[in-house]
Amino acid sequence: MEIRRATPADAVAIATVHVRSWRAAYGGVLPQSYLDDLDAARLCAQWRQTLETTAWPVTGTLVVIDAAADLSAGQAAGADTAAITGFAHFGPTRDEDDDPRSVGELQTLYLDPLVWRRGAGSLLLGAVEKQLGEAGFATATAWTLENNDRARIFYERHGWHPDGATKFHDWGAFMATDVRYRVSLA
């Protein structure tokens, strides 16, 4: 496995992993109609714009490359996504109660469900922590759904801890409570 900085050419792969991950991780947690409506083609345009406007090294997206992974089942026709098995996006905190000059935020971290529990998530999280530290952030935060036990256990296993902050998140089709995790980058 290799981790590298994402480029706009990775937008299709990132969008595909994004949809596959959400459908697997949030089935039974979020409304099925919302999950069924997720569309990699729509997300691709958003990801391409995000990747084109990245202000590296403070903001960025990292991808996990696993040439040995066979993700062809369920991939979009014609999409060359077999090697990208996950991604994480980060930047300065978006929270008003933290200082964006010293607090970085892990905004997304998703893996294709076919490679869950194989170490890619740990490698990716470590790479994000390293990049945020090198960008000058002293602390990192991440928001996750309150009832996302898989993510909460993952963060806690890697030394992140809930800091007591919660917020309602309005996804349009549903409301959810998010909890914030925090880790020192020192």
The per-residue pLDDT for range 76-113, each reduced to its tens digit, is 434 444 589 999 999 999 999 999 999 999 999 999 99
Residue range 68-72: average pLDDT? 61
Mean of pLDDT values over 139-167: 97
Q: Domain range holding 120?
A: 2-184
Give residue 45's pLDDT. Answer: 95
CATH of the domain at 157: 3.40.630.30
Helices 40-52 and 11-25: angle between axes, nearest 10 degrees: 130
| Count of structural domains, the chain | 1
Q: What pLDDT does residue 70 have?
A: 60
Given a cut of 50, whether residue 33 has pLDDT beyond it is yes
> CA–CA distance from 11 to each of 96, 120, 122 (Å)?
29, 19, 22
